Amino acid sequence: MTNSPDPRAELGAFLRSRRERLAPAALGLPVAPRRRTPGLRRAEVAESAGISTSWYAWLEQGRVRTSEQVLRSVARALHLDAAETAHVLSFAEDAPPTGAAPASWVSPNLRSLVDAMLPHPAMVIDPHWDLLAWNASYAALLTDLARLPPKRRNMLWLVFRWPPCRALLADWEAEARSLLGQFRARAAHHPDDPRYAEIIEAIRADPCAARWLDERETAAFRPAVKRFRHPAAGELRLRSVKLAAVDEPGHHFLAYLPDGPDSEAALHRLR
């Protein structure tokens, strides 16, 4: 990511954005009439977290890394939700690696699994969420990705830059915000990776994406029911499933399973 040359700077910017949006009343603090700082003061967060003001200031300034224990205390002080807390903890000095180097190759076994999922849409993505393999049902549900240039075969690009997606996803805004939050949390750990930067630059052309990126939205993947409004098959309710490919580090297998008999029948109409 071009605006964060160091993961410590990304963590600092994220903590600052959450501190500035938290009202003093959340900590039971009085609201001064001439309070100049938006949200909480650094000293107030530090006191609530049980650390020194200078150490917390260094965290926001991207000057230090710290332990999981300290970051948990800071997360509690900032009233972060589960996804935000997980994002902050991923910057701990003893945090495990976030994933293996990306690869564009997909094994025949994984491709066979994708095809075997028919009529259920299925795909394989890499760490950048570039789509590496997909079956006929996924192409019928969304679009034939083979017709797109390789660098546009990306989940973020499809959601924000492919116009039909807004009509196809019944809950587009919620889905788009969640997807972007997940992607941004991952990209923050790879500030020097040109593909992450390239994707973010491309989706910034969308006003919603640009605004949510600047707000530093973050999210965690959760299995959920997605609602599609397909021009040929009608409305579909599909449960998303995501699995890590153990023998292909960095690759994930995704599938959409019908949430009820009506959606099962609609999937057959896609073929």
User: Is residue 198 a contact partner of residue 183, using CB atoms and an 8 Å limit?
Assistant: no
Q: How far is CA 170 from CA 52, 114, 136, 230, in A?
A: 47, 25, 22, 10
Separation of alpha carbons 238 and 185, rounded Å: 25
196: tokens are 């992450």
Low-confidence ranges of the chain (pLDDT < 70): 1-5, 25-38, 94-104, 247
Q: Which residues contact 66 (CB under 8 A, 6 or more apart)?
A: 55, 59, 92, 93
Q: Residue 5 has what pLDDT? A: 53
95: tokens are 């945090």
Q: Residue 2 has what pLDDT? A: 44
pLDDT (tens digit, 9 = 90+) per residue, 192-205? 889 999 999 999 99
- Say what the pTM is: 0.69
Give the position of tokens 């205390």. 73
User: Is residue 100 a contact partner of residue 250, using CB atoms and an 8 Å limit?
Assistant: yes
Which stretches does DSSP call E strand in 120-244?
Answer: 122-125, 131-134, 225-230, 234-244
User: Is residue 227 a contact partner of residue 168, using CB atoms and an 8 Å limit?
Assistant: no
155: tokens are 């989940």
Q: Residue 37 has what pLDDT? A: 64
Q: Residue 28 has what pLDDT? A: 65
User: Is residue 90 a contact partner of residue 97, using CB atoms and an 8 Å limit?
Assistant: no
Q: Residue 119 has what pLDDT? A: 93
Helix (H), strand (E) at residue 8: helix 7-21
Q: Residue 34 has what pLDDT? A: 62
User: Is residue 240 a contact partner of residue 224, using CB atoms and an 8 Å limit?
Assistant: yes
Separation of alpha carbons 2 and 268, rounded Å: 44
Q: DSSP string of 57-114?
A: HHHHTT-----HHHHHHHHHHTT--HHHHHHHHTTSTTPPP--PPP-----HHHHHHH
Separation of alpha carbons 227 and 220, rounded Å: 19
Residue 259 DSSP SS3: coil
Residue 144: CB atoms within 10 Å: 11
